[in-house]
């Protein structure tokens, strides 16, 4: 039910099932950790950065929520103001503004993410500007 035909996760369906419900969201984080041996990459016992790679980038949306920040050298976080986040969620997922705000309220705040990050980027701008920041 939460998978698209190509096997990727249907984020809209998954979001409707877990966002706003801390118990379900917590179970999702636990399932992610267990399925991956407590590693951000499924089926691995250790962080790929520890196996001789000079640079390793993990695109892990729940890295902080899952407590994986100690597995990496740096945490880079992208933030945007709440109103812009709501606008993007409504446009991308077709949710109501209220549902989008509830989704955001069930997640870590920008402030909490910043407190655990070494690099913080704002993606309020056009994608080309964000690429220049990175």
- Model pTM? 0.60
CA distance 93 to 53: 36
User: Is residue 19 classed exposed, middle or buried when 0-12, 13-18 and 19+ CB atoms within 10 A define those classes?
Assistant: buried
pLDDT bucket at 19, cuts 50 / 70 / 90: low
Residue 119 has pLDDT above 70, yes or no: yes
SS3 label, residue 3: strand
Both 103 and 52 in a single domain? no
Number of domains in the chain: 2
- Calculate mean pLDDT across residues 35-48: 49
Both 45 and 62 in a single domain? yes
Of 41, 56, 73, which one is at a domain's C-terminal end? 73
Of 73, 90, 109, which one is at a domain's C-terminal end? 73
Residue 39 has pLDDT above 50, yes or no: no
Both 63 and 129 in a single domain? no
Is the CB of residue 73 less than 8 Å from the CB of residue 55? no
The long-range contacts involving 40-45, CB below 8 angstroms and separated by at least 24 positions, are 40/66, 40/68, 40/71
Both 79 and 132 in a single domain? yes
Both 6 and 66 in a single domain? yes
Is the CB of residue 46 less than 8 Å from the CB of residue 53? no
Domain that residue 89 falls in: 74-134
* Tokens matching residue 54: 């000079």
Q: What does the pLDDT read at residue 68?
A: 79
Of 56, 73, 90, which one is at a domain's C-terminal end? 73
pLDDT bucket at 65, cuts 50 / 70 / 90: confident
| CA 50 from centroid of its chain's CA atoms | 22
CA distance 106 to 14: 14
């Amino acid at each position: 039910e939460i998978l698209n035909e190509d096997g990727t996760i249907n984020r809209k369906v998954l979001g409707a099932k877990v966002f706003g419900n801390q118990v379900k969201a917590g179970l999702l984080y636990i399932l992610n950790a267990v399925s991956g041996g407590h590693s951000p990459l499924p089926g691995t016992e250790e962080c790929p950065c520890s196996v001789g790679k000079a640079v390793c980038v993990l695109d892990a949306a729940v890295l902080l929520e899952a407590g994986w920040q100690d597995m990496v050298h740096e945490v880079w976080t992208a933030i945007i103001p709440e109103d812009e986040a709501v606008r993007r969620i409504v446009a991308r997922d077709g949710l109501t503004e209220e549902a989008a705000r509830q989704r955001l309220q069930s997640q870590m705040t920008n402030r909490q993410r910043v407190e655990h990050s070494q690099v913080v980027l704002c993606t309020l701008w056009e994608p080309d500007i964000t690429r220049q920041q990175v």
